[in-house]
Amino acid sequence: MDSIATDTSATNSSHLPAPILTLPNVLVRPYHPQDAASIATSANNPLVARYMTNAFPSPYTLSSAARWITIALTPPISHFALTLPTSPTTVIGGIGLKPGFDVHAHSAELGYWLAEPYWNRGIISAAVEAFVAWTMLERLDVRRVWAGVCGGNEASERVLGKCGFRREGVMREHVVKGGEVMDLSIWGLTRGDWEEREWERRKMEPESLSGEVNIT
Ligand SMILES: CC(C)(COP(=O)(O)OP(=O)(O)OC[C@H]1O[C@@H](n2cnc3c(N)ncnc32)[C@H](O)[C@@H]1OP(=O)(O)O)[C@@H](O)C(=O)NCCC(=O)NCCS
């Protein structure tokens, strides 16, 4: 599949909200109502939807995208658009947190997706690493970030492993999607895990850290 054409997106970036994360290969920024067209283009792919919950529709239409933007812009904002730094008006993916409730309120579920043309370029690994740091620094009530990964989604498991998440267990046959029964592996990273990882990283790469992640 070719890269996504920029003519499906808003053409002028001056109205866009500022990124929360500026990384060499991806920007993480709040959504904007004008993102609907590029979201629909990027998300309307059964291969992207395959391991997502049914909240990520397939087919993914313009009105699906408009509905999602309304949800994502409801405070406190916890869901963000991903764009290439060279094309901030074109949404190529998403990343976000779903806070737990009741006794799970300190735990936030991480979710992410990326348009197929951009897979395997390290984009989500970079976004997850930096977004977890943002979460730990900006959402002080979050003690733990976790993700559930459907059996067969090796790329997602690889991302989480690279970002310091531990594979904590498997909920067997927990997911049925489109008639397919799948296990769900649970991956978690506690605040303590993250602090330890940051400490080790700072010891190993003191200079490369400065300027690598711009949390605004
Ligand atoms: C999962 C997903 C987000 C990964 O995004 P991405 O930007 O391509 O991920 P990255 O490039 O940062 O890392 C992918 C890693 O998985 C590896 N990988 C890809 N396909 C793989 C496979 N079939 N088996 C094993 N490893 C695989 C890549 O080689 C890479 O590892 P490396 O950096 O060590 O080489 C993307 O494929 C996607 O959007 N999938 C559909 C939606 C989805 O599944 N979301 C997650 C739900 S839990």
| Tens digits of residue pLDDT in 182-205 | 999 999 999 999 999 999 999 987
Q: Is the Cβ atom of 106 under 6 angstroms away from ligand 1?
A: no
2 lies in some domain: no
pLDDT of residue 215: 59
Name which residue leads in pLDDT, 10 or 114. 114
Residue 15's pLDDT is 86
Distance 158 CA to ligand 1 centre (A): 6
Question: Has residue 57 been placed in a domain?
Answer: yes
| Any domain includes 68 | yes
The per-residue pLDDT for 13 is: 75
What pLDDT, in 10s, does the model give residues 155-187?
999 999 999 999 999 999 999 999 999 999 999
What's the CATH code of the domain at 55? 3.40.630.30
Q: What is the pLDDT of residues 81-111, one digit of tens each?
A: 999 999 999 999 999 999 999 999 999 999 9
Range of the domain at 138: 9-205
The answer to whether position 1 is within a domain reads: no
What pLDDT shows up at residue 206? 60
The pTM for the full model equals 0.92
| Residue 5, pLDDT above cutoff 80 | no
| Residues 6 or more apart in contact with residue 53 via CB below 8 angstroms | 177
Tens-digit pLDDT profile for residues 34-80:
999 999 999 999 999 999 999 999 999 999 999 999 999 999 999 99
In a domain, 212, yes or no: no
Ligand 1 nearest atom to the CA of residue 149, by list position? 48
Cα of 101 from ligand 1 centre, angstroms: 29
pLDDT above 90: residue 141: yes
Q: 114 C-alpha to center of ligand 1: Å?
A: 9
- Structural domains of the chain, count: 1
CA of 113 to the centre of ligand 1 (A): 9
Q: Is the CB of 99 under 6 A from ligand 1?
A: no
* Residue 124, ligand 1, Cβ within 6 A: yes
Would you say residue 82 lies in a domain? yes
For residue 56 and ligand 1, the question of a CB distance below 6 A is answered with no
Instruction: With respect to residue 216, please indicate whether it lies within any of the assigned structural domains.
Output: no
Q: How confident is the model at residue 9 (pLDDT cuts 50, 70, 90)?
A: very low
Q: What pLDDT, on the 0 to 100 scale, is given for residue 216?
A: 57
- Cα 192 to ligand 1 centre (Å): 26
Nearest alpha carbon to residue 201 among 214, 190, 210, 189: 210
pLDDT of residue 155: 98
Residue 3 is predicted with a pLDDT of 47
Ligand 1 pocket, residue 134 CB under 6 Å? no
- Look at residue 126 and tell me if it is in a domain: yes
